[in-house]
Amino acid sequence: MSSRHTPRHRATARRPLLRAVSGAALATVTVVLLVGGQGSLALWKASATLPTASTASGALRLVANPGCGGWRFTQTGGPAAWQGTSYPASTTNANGTQYVEPHDRLTQTCTYRLSATGEHLRATIALTQATISSSAATTAGVAASATYTVNGAAATSVTELDDNASLVATIVLTVPDPVSTLQGTSLTVGGATVSLQQVHA
């Protein structure tokens, strides 16, 4: 009797093990299918070749036409005989030097032909790189400034509509009120450049 009941208990004990192993195998197969199931989760891809595009650049230039003249006296209230005369004058004092005094103002006029080609092009006009040096330790307020006209009208900027226009720059060098440190010294103005700086229109 006892030998007949032994196999039944062994078979009953094996069934849970078989179910557990089967469950583990199914779970493993499911993971494989989702992660690497031979294209079952492939991402869609597509490509297209962009058409060839060509661009053409514009242009922004200042051409001397005829360029700059010499410095001239243009101060207000100065000697009438000096107004508009060249500096240095053809006739000078016994030392061969024409002296500049406080309140004197020297002016130089430069004329250019503007070339501006583009779409929504805009550029500001500026006097750049003007350096003033003195034989003294200081230039004591001597300053250079400029005003501009485009085809006769006052302007601070240009656009493509001003192409082929005449741009005139008037550069002014002003000697300030009397400063003792500048007596008997010499001043040099150099490197002044009329420039066009493009800005986004």
Structure confidence by residue, pLDDT tens digits, 62-120: 888 888 887 887 766 655 656 666 666 655 555 555 667 777 788 888 999 999 888 88
Number of domains in the chain: 1
What's the token pair of residue 1? 């009797």
Asked if residue 3 belongs to a domain, the reply is no
Asked if residue 25 belongs to a domain, the reply is no
**Whole-angstrom distance, CA of residue 76 vs CA of residue 84:** 11
**Domain, as residue range, for 194:** 59-200
Asked if residue 106 belongs to a domain, the reply is yes
> At 67, which helix (H) or strand (E)?
strand 59-68
Asked if residue 15 belongs to a domain, the reply is no
Asked if residue 1 belongs to a domain, the reply is no
DSSP H helical ranges for the chain: 2-36
Of 2-6, 81-85, 119-123, 167-171, where does mean pLDDT reach its minimum? Answer: 2-6
Asked if residue 125 belongs to a domain, the reply is yes
Max Cα distance, the chain (Å): 153
Q: Where residue 149 falls among pLDDT bands split at 50, 70, 90?
A: very high
Asked if residue 91 belongs to a domain, the reply is yes
* pLDDT attached to residue 166: 95
Burial class (CB in 10 A: 0-12, 13-18, 19+), 106: buried
Structure confidence by residue, pLDDT tens digits, 25-62: 444 343 333 444 444 445 565 555 556 555 556 778 88
Asked if residue 52 belongs to a domain, the reply is no
